[in-house]
Structure 1
Amino acid sequence: MIEPRIPIDEEQRLEAVRSYDLLDTLPERDFDNLTLVTATVCDVPISLVTLVESDRNFLKSHYGIPFNESPRSTSFCGHAILDESCIFIVEDARKDPRFVDNPLVTEMNAIFYAGVRLVNSDGYPLGTLCVFDTKPRKLTSKQKKALIALAFQVVNLFEAKKRNRELMVIQNELKEKNEELKNFAGMVSHDMKMPLANMIITSDMLRSKYGQYLDDQGKQYLEYIKQSSFTLSEYITGMLEHYESDKTASLSEEIFDSQDLLEDIIELLNINYDCEINLPEENIEMKANRAALEQITLNLITNSLKYNDKETIVIDINCWKERGYYYFTVTDNGVGIEKEKLKSIFNLFETVGELDRYGKKGNGIGLSTVKKLVNKLGGDIEVTSEKGKGTTFKFYIKKMKKKTPKQLKEN
């Protein structure tokens, strides 16, 4: 018997093998399916996916034998990874000086062997896709081509699993960073709201107590401080809602009426100017995340009220269900949105540049939060508008399905 020699780039090759994190892992159906197909195509009793480690062969998939590793010193695969031909074949190991007294031959009756190297994108042979038989034999031309093709698929599977693992690591890191950012934004926002409230109260106190000593310009400066504090406070509130929208979207579903939802929102707005809000004629029983839907609809109606220059504000709301989804439209007769800005209106911090009916400019957070919530609820939102005539927002969310027994058990 001749032991397989060690490649000159063994250190780098072993590093490549270990980079796939497949050593000592449990069997996987994807690999077992490939060895089953390989054995069937080649008409052999044994088929293996091997990874050649420093002192052993780890069998990632083993069809036809009960163990998952063997010594490298006696392995056929140790020789196969050194052979740069398309396929390494030993038709009768009993007649081959490399294997004549090999324990695999003398004790396990491994007579025939054919293996294709599993070469990664950097050119390192990681192991083999190989087959064994207990009798001398040959492979047909079609079987050889099939074995080479299947080995290529094994390498593709290696690479796919490695990429998925790397992406999972990146995804987890991003989740952690995003959570840190959310916590930081929440903490800073909460800490800033109290000083801003103090600034608003202080400006009112200064005007009340010392207003008689201030000229018109001085009073105007106090008003600037107060209004700037209000603007920043609204900005912070919007940021908190945006970052907390994930929590809102994860709340459990409820059963409620669409009419009750919309009436509660209108009552909450406490509108004190000339406004006509037309609600849907049909009342729909809904099973959805009420808190999230309330925040979405409240934001859209509020925008229709704020960005409106008409003497009488008219808002038409429609709601219906269709094919497992709930649809809503909110249409107003407001200032409208320029056509070139419609595509970017849902981007965070994107504004249309218009001042609202109170002379304030938006912060570009509300509609981004709306889209985020709608997407989290399994839907989407779109907008159509005509400058000077009004805007229509149309969105849909997925109807909550009844939970399966498995989901109920998990809860």
Structure 2
Amino acid sequence: MIAPKIPSNESARLAAVYEYKLIDTLPESDFDNITSIIAAIFNIPISLITLLDVDRNFLKSHYGFPFNEAPRDLSFCGHAIMCEDDIFIIEDSRKDERFHDNPIVKEHNAIFYAGVSLINPDGLPLGTLCVFDTKPRKLTALQKQVLIAMAKQVVNLFELRKRNIQLRETKEELHIQNENLKNFAGHVSHDMKMPLANMIVTTDILRKKYNTVLDAKGIEYLDYLKQSSFTLSDYISGLLNHYESDKLDNVRESFDLHLLLEEIVDLLNINIDCEINFPEINEELYCNRAALEQIFLNLIGNSLKYNDKEKVIIDIACKKRKSQLEFKISDNGIGIPKDKQKEIFNLFSTVGNLDRNGNKGHGIGLSTVQKLINNLGGKIKLESELGKGTTFYFTIAI
């Protein structure tokens, strides 16, 4: 018996084998299907998919063979990966000095062998797709073509597996980074709330105490400082709502839609001429009340802020389907330009319009709304025409 030689690029070859994370894994139907098909087509008792480790031949799929590994020194596959031909064939191992006294030949009657190297995209041999028979035989040209083609398909499966592993690892890494970012944003936002509140209170104290000393310009500066503090406070509150929206437990409860909307209108403390029309049918809903409240607060709040009409009109509709709730919120506001409608739900994306009080939006509210709706198994879209108003359509699963 002659043991197989070790390739000159063995370190790189082994590194390539380990990239696929297949060594010592359990059988998988994708690979077992290939070996069983090969065995049937060739009418042969043994078909294997192998990977050559440091000192063993690991059998990822072993049709007709009771073991999942064998010593590399005894392996036919160790010789096959050194072969420069497309296919390595031993028609009768008993007549070949490399194998005639090999225990695999003597104990398992491995007389015939044909193997095709599994070559990765970098040209490194990982193992083989091979067949054994207990008697001498020859392969037809068609059988050789089939074995070579199926070996390429095995490598394609290896590559697909590797890409899936990389995607899972990337997804997990992004998840960790996103959690770290959310925690950072949460801590920073919370830490900034108190100093901002102090700034707002301090400007009121300064104005009251030094009102007779400050000239008109000084009073204007204090007003500007206070307004800027409020703007930054709203921005931070929006960030907190966005990053904490995932923490809203998906606890479902029964509640009255009209009552929810009435509570939201009270919370908004509307001080302009406004008509809000509730759905004609007062539905009894069963869903995540806290999340739906947050959605309505943002959408109705936007309809109030981004409106240049003397009288604001907001129409709300709701339809209960078998598996979802469908909502519609329309207003007669300033509208959203066509070229901004696709990106309006992106975090920090703004239309550029000033609100009713001359302030610019932060691009956080609608991103939070979409996030909440997606978490509730729904979708949101909009229709808008400049100068005439905007309609949001969204669904949530029930």
Distance in structure 2 (CA, Å) of the matches to 1:85 and 1:312: 84
2:350 aligned residue: 351
2:30 aligned residue: 30
SS of the equivalent of 2:16 reads helix
2:145 aligned residue: 145
Distance in structure 1 (CA, Å) of the matches to 2:114 and 2:376: 54
Aligned-pair CA distance for 1:285: 3.8
1:407 aligned residue: none
Q: Deviations over 1:286-310 (max 9, x none)?
A: 3432222221121000000111122
SS of the equivalent of 2:108 reads coil
2:308 aligned residue: 309
1:367 aligned residue: 366
Letter paired with 1:288: C
Q: Does 1:229 align with 2:229?
A: yes
1:88 aligned residue: 88
Unaligned runs of at least 5 residues, structure 1 = 400-411
Q: Which moved further from structure 2: 381-390 or 210-219?
A: 381-390
CA RMSD of aligned residues (A): 1.7
1:114 aligned residue: 114
Q: Which moved further from structure 2: 339-348 or 178-187?
A: 339-348
| TM-score (structure 1 length as normaliser) | 0.92
Letter paired with 1:392: T
The 8 Å contact of residues 335 and 389 in structure 1, kept in 2 or not, is answered as: yes
Task: Provide closer, same or farther for how the CA distance between residues 251 and 323 of structure 1 changes in structure 2, counting only shifts above 3 A.
Answer: closer
Q: Does 1:133 align with 2:133?
A: yes
Letter paired with 2:292: L
Distance in structure 1 (CA, Å) of the matches to 2:253 and 2:20: 46
Task: Provide closer, same or farther for how the CA distance between residues 124 and 230 of structure 1 changes in structure 2, counting only shifts above 3 A.
Answer: same
Distance in structure 2 (CA, Å) of the matches to 1:363 and 1:205: 29
Aligned-pair CA distance for 1:78: 0.7
Q: Deviations over 1:263-296 (max 9, x none)?
A: 3322322323321111111233434322222211
Q: Identity across aligned pairs (percent)? A: 65
2:74 aligned residue: 74
1:12 aligned residue: 12
Distance in structure 2 (CA, Å) of the matches to 1:240 and 1:320: 31
SS of the equivalent of 1:152 reads helix
Letter paired with 1:364: G
Aligned-pair CA distance for 1:252: 2.9
Task: Provide closer, same or farther for how the CA distance between residues 258 and 138 of structure 1 changes in structure 2, counting only shifts above 3 A.
Answer: farther
Q: Deviations over 1:213-238 (max 9, x none)?
A: 11111111111111000000000000
Q: Deviations over 1:343-378 (max 9, x none)?
A: 222222122222212221111111111122222322
SS of the equivalent of 1:391 reads strand
Q: Deviations over 1:310-362 (max 9, x none)?
A: 22211001111346232111100112222222222222212222221222111
Aligned-pair CA distance for 1:261: 3.1
Distance in structure 1 (CA, Å) of the matches to 2:267 and 2:186: 25
Distance in structure 1 (CA, Å) of the matches to 2:134 and 2:259: 77
2:334 aligned residue: 335
2:241 aligned residue: 241
Unaligned runs of at least 5 residues, structure 2 = none
Q: Which moved further from structure 2: 284-293 or 164-173?
A: 284-293
Letter paired with 1:36: S
Task: Provide closer, same or farther for how the CA distance between residues 93 and 175 of structure 1 changes in structure 2, counting only shifts above 3 A.
Answer: same
SS of the equivalent of 1:190 reads helix
Matches within 5 A, 1:286-297: 286-297=285-296
Letter paired with 1:135: K
The 8 Å contact of residues 41 and 146 in structure 1, kept in 2 or not, is answered as: no
Aligned-pair CA distance for 1:193: 0.3
2:280 aligned residue: 281
Matches within 5 A, 1:152-163: 152-163=152-163
Q: Which moved further from structure 2: 320-329 or 294-303?
A: 320-329
Task: Provide closer, same or farther for how the CA distance between residues 254 and 92 of structure 1 changes in structure 2, counting only shifts above 3 A.
Answer: farther
Distance in structure 2 (CA, Å) of the matches to 1:396 and 1:163: 34
2:396 aligned residue: 397
Count of residues paired in the alignment: 398
Aligned-pair CA distance for 1:183: 0.8
1:405 aligned residue: none
Aligned-pair CA distance for 1:195: 0.4
Letter paired with 1:192: M
The 8 Å contact of residues 186 and 240 in structure 1, kept in 2 or not, is answered as: yes
Letter paired with 2:147: L
2:170 aligned residue: 170
The 8 Å contact of residues 117 and 129 in structure 1, kept in 2 or not, is answered as: yes
